[in-house]
Copies of this chain bind each other. A is one copy, B any other.
Amino acid sequence: MEIAAGLASVAKGFHARGWLLGTSGNLSAVVQREPLRLAMSPSGVDKGELKPEQLLSIDENARIVSAHQGKPSDESLLHIRIVKDRDAGAVLHTHSVWNTILSDLYATEGGVTINGYEMLKGLQGVRTHEHTEFLPIIENSQDMPALAEQVGKTLNEHQAAHGFLLRRHGLYSWGRTLAEAKRHIEILEFLLETMGRTNRRLD
């Protein structure tokens, strides 16, 4: 229940910032590794009103193992892929205005290159602002198994990435803990907004 309360609290905070409007986005955290049990936000729920008891428990095939009537998010397969490939403890997915704009603006370059910002130091394992973070951009799709496979390939190609963007869709990030995942989202959202506003100014 503590994990569920944590996810609900993060959801409420991000909704207030406008990063999870209109029931968009989703959140998960690992409850148990073997066999995998993930606390997952249900589909179509207002994230500003998410209650801990609404979090679903799903297995590694995205099937509900708790007694809920709800439906897990369509994107559960992506969460499971990230948890496995990155050994993540939590995965967060936001839809902000700035991540949506930059996911399209940098699509032809295959990703957003961010470097030279002190804020990068908040990403796990980064020790200096002289770090280059490459945030890959993946074409959006409604075919979730195919998209999960593409996410797996991207994670494999970009081992150092702390997140990725789905084009005209949103941002995914993760962490060993929910607190780390939340920190990563806040940092990446900050950096995308900073680059977006800088880019526009310099045009």
Contacts and interface: CB of A to CB of B under 8 A. Distances in A.
A201 B200 contact: yes
Contact of A118 (B169, B184, B200): B169
Contacts of A203: 201, 203
Contacts of A101: 194, 197-198, 201
A116 B200 contact: no
B22 A122 contact: yes
Interface residues of A, number: 47
Interface string A72-87: 0000000000000000
Interface string A119-133: 100100001111000
Contacts of A18: 17, 190
A37 B201 CA distance: 43
Contacts of A197: 97, 101, 196, 200
Given A46-B183, A140-B129, A24 B201 contact: no
Contacts of A122: 22-24
A61 interface: no
B142 A189 contact: no
A65 to B, nearest CB: 26
A97 B190 contact: yes
Contacts of A186: 21-22
A146 to B, nearest CB: 14
A100 B127 contact: no
B189 A21 contact: yes
Ordered nearest first, which 6 A-B pairs have the shortest CB separation?
Answer: A118-B169, A22-B187, A22-B186, A21-B186, A22-B122, A200-B201
Interface of A: 13, 17-18, 21-24, 46, 48, 95, 97, 100-101, 104-105, 116-119, 122, 127-130, 140, 142, 166, 168-170, 179, 182-184, 186-187, 189-190, 193-194, 196-201, 203
